[in-house]
Amino acid sequence: MDSNKKYWKGLEELNQTPAFVKESKSEFAEPIPVEDVLNEAGLSTRTPRRDFLKALGFGLGAVTLAACNRTPVHKAVPYVIKPEEITPGIPNYYASSFNGQSILVKTREGRPIFIEPNPNGVGLTQGTDATTVASVLDLYDMSKLQNPQLDGKDVEWSKLDSTVIAALNKAAQAGKQIAIVSTTVNSPSTLASIAKLTDKYPTTSLVQVDAVSYSGIIEANKNSFGKAVVPSYNFGKAQVVVSVAADFLGSWLSGEEHSQDFIKNRDYKSLKNGKMSRHIQFESGLSMTGSNADVRIAIKPSEEGAVLISLYNEITGQSVAGGTTNAKAQTAIKLVAKELVASKGAAVVVAGANDVNIQSLVNAINTQLGAYGAIIDLDNYSKQYQGSDSTFQQFLTAAKGGQVGVALFLNSNPVYNYFNSADVEEAIKKVDFTLSFADRKDETASLLKAIAPVPNYLESWGDASAKEGVYTVVQPTINPIYNTRQAEQSFLVWAGETTNIYDFVRQNWETNILAGTGKSWKEVLQAGYISKATAAGSAYSANVDVASVAAAIVADAKKIAGEVELKLYESTTLRDGRYANNAYLQELPDPVSKVTWDNYAAINPKFAEQLGLGENGKVTVEANGKSIELPVVLQPGQAMGTVSVAVGYGRTSVGKAGDNVGKNAYPLASLINGTVQFAAKASVSKASGTYELAQTQTHHTIEGRNIIRETTFAKYQKDPNSESGRFADSHKTYDLWNKYEQPGHKWVMAIDLNACTGCGSCIVACNVENNIPVVGRDEVRRRREMHWLRIDRYYTIEENGNKYSKENDIANVQDFENVTVVHQPMLCQHCEHAPCETVCPVLATVHSSEGLNHMAYNRCFGTRYCANNCPYKVRRFNWFNYWNDSRFDNYLNNEFTQLVLNPDVTTRSRGVMEKCSMCIQRIQAGKLTAKMENRKLVDGDVKMACQAACSANAIIFGDANDPESEVSKALRNERVYYVLEEINVQPNIGYMTKVRNTFEA
């Protein structure tokens, strides 16, 4: 209803006085003296007290109000259109493969965050090696190139393509070679795409070269059997294994797969059946494999051939000249030879040397032992290392002669990892057009004209064939993040093909691999692999002229024999150096020396004494006319007069984490007999200055404590309880604490010390799964690494039949060559009477009804009392804000790399304690899945990250309340003991005694 009533506010309005009328026009009753205040005079006047107080009051009020603002809330924005397969909070798994191993990639909301082995795969189905688990971090590496480059400048792909095609055409017209220099290519689709390029440009050739070469084996097999291949080995069938300098559980060929098979004859199940294989190792440096050997003899690199000649003589009864004169080795060889002969068909000898003659001799020995067909498979041979040192030599010669028009470097970085990088650089200069497919500006790529960066394997379509007849698929789990393009796609584009890579890979599979198998592409994507391998290889007989081979061995040995000999080796953590920018791998301690973030010269403590070196000393190692300065590690077990140095370090152009870590040892290698040799005559001299290596363990013996319990196989056979120290019923324990019921689950773990090889892939898996920060070299030096799970490694020195495991006794030892090693994974023991729980003042760490020791990060205020009171010292404190602090720029200090974080696990701020949670997020996920499926949780539903990564099945996790679970069965084993059980903390992790299958005197 309309109203025309008018209310007046005062008499002035009613009367409409002139003053009111005038004032009502302006907003303020009195004019605001803005002009007066803001003119110069106004600004320079003194502020009256009242104005000052007004301003102060307003300012304070305004600031207070502003400060009352709530903490900004970061809202997660839900999908507008949700992808069908993604449910937030539920991981998706995709089958893929890494280095030929069939894996499962765990993705969360479209981000790959964890790599697990494909349990239904082929070959290595149980566990992944450290590089595989760590590889997920490489996807989020900030150091990668974001665009293709030409002459060091970002360009469009089209520009790059036209340049490359012009160069290819020019080379083709000039009749010059087009070389694709690559590490081993076993991917069928890569090979097919290269074939397309070769069709277009017939002068194209593929030059395969591996930084760590197996040419010697390939050549030897070509001579012995007419098959130029590296065989595959099934150590699962071997009862006696003799390795001469082959780190076959670590970096040699396919270490992780070998471990999986090899340990099956040594773990608790095998022992339960009364069986255990015997492993004898001859080597110079203490390798991870050597640390697991039953008998280990330290020899010089130049003696490797001689040892094999002696072994051949003992086995065959012949007397080929050139056998070893090393007394210790001779005794061992006599015993070993008997064993080998006795277990013909289940015995194998492997050698690490990249030398045709040594490998030919090994072929002859293995033929005598009947290893071909039984253990060594030449039919389903390995395709992991096909590089040929001589082919690469030919390429270098051709390039230097100006015969190469275009060189394309694929996964290849010879400027860094070829022993003669000056030669490579010279060759590159003579090539008209050079291009690298590197994902970063590495040592080689930065010298080339163009870079066509490839995406990470987690962004790519592709495949691999690590073994003849076995094909694994690589499928992307995320869209390419940067403007990258797969090398295969580039080959196709340059060959004038328009097919995209997905169609190309699929067509290649459908026509060449799947044809006749009855399997579809979709099925392959689900399974991840297809195997057309024959069940077992057939028997072969080596055709070797032993006398002439032996003569050549003796002659070549003289070239490397010297007072001091150098042995280069591939470390189990960083491998050949291509993963050097992976912070997880850099901080993974070496399985034997426990050194992180550096390579070093390993020398025998006595030898060091002779050189006048102690801890933190430095040496200059000189070989083949080149020298590097390195910190020393006093390595028990190292042969006297030898020095071992790991390759793969000293990258200069790989990224923030890996640049200038250690020294590049590749230049110390040499070419003998057409193959790259990692052994050389050397000289070692004390260098000035000191250098403190970042070691995670600095005390190396058990001090005679019973934390490690070990026995021999002979004793075990007589009494399985041998040395386990069980006092089960003979000892009454008293208890101050209340007993709590654990009616649901009771999570426990069993660790088999006989299975653990110490490789450390569990540590990396734990890091990735639980967002454990990498802290860098300085913090490791300060003994602050954050690893929730570590592997303790203890030495026992044997001299004259006495075993020394105490520091004081070892001071008097003269011979440090004879050492036995044990690896003990150590993590939170989830004690039932946890000392940490009673002392926490704020109940931040408490026990669960499922037997777990929980850690409530939010409640922790960081007194560190719990860590002090932990007898196992497994608690880790966030001394700084490691995961997001500019001083810890190793990897996580940027939003991109933070995408690798597991969203199920909180990141910990500074001042908070953390430790193994028994992957509580995995337990919860397992319970939820079972609940959704309306069933009980069954054994095997929940796997710990460490367990998933362990190829030796050394870690068994499960529910102790289920008497049929694998862990319950394992813990009923006679070998089980609990570390520090005498202090009655009642740990929930049982260890099984270490059993050594030594020669009985």
Partner 1 sequence: MSSHNESILREPLMTGKDITYAQITDDILLPVENKPNKAWWIGFIVACVGASLWVISVGYTFWTGIGAWGLNKTVGWAWDITDFVWWVGIGHAGTLISAVLLLFRQNWRNSINRSAEAMTIFAVICAATYVVAHMGRPWLAYWIFPLPNQFGSLWVNFNSPLVWDAFAISTYFTVSLVFWYCGLLPDIASVRDRATGLRKRIYSIFSFGWNGSVKTWQRFEIVSLILAGISTPLVLSVHTIVSMDFATSVIPGWHTTIFPPYFVAGAIFSGFAMVQTLLLILRKVLNFEHYITMFHIEAMNKIIMVTGSIVGVAYLTELFIAWYSGSEYEMYAFANRVAGPYAWAYWAMMTCNVISPQLFWFKKIRTSIPISWVLSIVVNIGMWFERFVIIVTSLHRDYLPSSWAMFYPTWVDVGIFVGSIGLFFVLFLLFLRFLPGIAIAEVKLLLKSSSLQHKTKLVQEGAFPEDQVEFFRESLRKYDSVTEEEINALRKK
Q: Which residues bind partner 1 (CB under 8 A)?
A: 697-705, 707, 779, 782-785, 790, 792-794, 824, 826, 835, 838-843, 859-865, 867-869, 871-873, 875-881, 909-913, 979-980, 983, 985
Closest CB 113 distance from partner 1, rounded Å: 26
Residue 844 in contact with residue 951, Cβ under 8 Å? no
Q: How far is the CB of 823 from partner 1 (least distance, A)?
A: 11
Distant-in-sequence, close-in-space partners of 67: CB < 8 Å, separation ≥ 6: none
* Residue among 958 and 987 whose Cβ is closer to partner 1: 987
- Report the distance separating Cα 587 and Cα 776, nearest Å: 7
Relative to beta strand 626-634, strand 601-603 is: parallel
DSSP reduced 3-state for 384: coil
- In angstroms, give the least distance from the CB of 731 to partner 1: 15
Query: How many other CB atoms are there within 10 angstroms of residue 321's CB atom?
Result: 10
Q: Which residues, other chains included, contact 749 with Cβ-Cβ below 8 Å and sequence gap of 6+? A: 830, 918, 944, 955, 956, 957, 967, 988, 989, 990
The span from the CA of 763 to the CA of 486, in Å, is 31
- Cβ 59 vs Cβ 442: under 8 Å: no
CB of 602 to partner 1, least distance (A): 19
Of the pair 248, 795, the CB lying nearest partner 1 is at 795
| Minimum distance from residue 727 beta carbon to partner 1 (Å) | 16
Shortest distance, CB of residue 983 to partner 1, whole angstroms?
Answer: 6
- Say how far apart CA 104 and CA 89 lie, in whole Å: 18
In this complex, which beta carbon is closest to partner 1, that of residue 170 or of residue 806? 806
> Smaller CB distance to partner 1: residue 62 or 856?
856
351 vs 831, beta carbon nearer partner 1: 831
Residue 841 is classified by DSSP as T
DSSP letter (8 states) at residue 235? G
Which residue's CB is nearer to partner 1, number 166 or number 842? 842
In eight-state DSSP terms, residue 730 is T
Q: Is 141 helix (H, G, I), strand (E, B) or coil?
A: coil
Which residues fall within 8 angstroms of residue 913, CB to CB, at 6 or more apart?
844, 845, 855, 857, 860, 862, 864, 866, 867, 875, 876, 877, 878
What's the CA gap between 358 and 112, in Å, rounded? 44
Q: How far is the CB of 709 from partner 1 (least distance, A)?
A: 14
Q: Which is nearer to partner 1, 482 or 880 (CB)?
A: 880
Complex with partner 1: residue 445 or 867, whichever CB lies closer: 867
For residues 416 and 872, which CB has a smaller minimum distance to partner 1 in the complex? 872
Which H helix or E strand runs over 682? strand 679-687
Task: Give me the phi and psi of 925, to 5 degrees please.
Answer: -60, -40
The DSSP output letter for 592 is T
What gap in Å lies between CA 484 and CA 670, rounded to an integer? 36
Closest approach of partner 1 to the CB of residue 590, in Å: 14
Q: Select 266 or 787, whichever has its Cβ closest to partner 1.
A: 787
Encoding tokens for residue 1000?
């009985």
Rank residues 784 and 927 by Cβ distance to partner 1 and give the closer one: 784
CB of 37 to partner 1, least distance (A): 41
Q: Which residues pair with 681 in a beta bridge?
A: 565
300 versus 793: smaller Cβ distance to partner 1: 793
CB of 597 to partner 1, least distance (A): 16
Q: What is the DSSP letter of 892?
A: S
Based on its alpha-carbon atoms, the radius of gyration of the chain, rounded to whole angstroms, reads 33
Q: Are 243 and 232 in contact (CB under 8 A)?
A: no
Question: Minimum distance from CB of 853 to partner 1 (Å)?
Answer: 14
The CB-of-852 to partner 1 minimum distance in angstroms stands at: 18
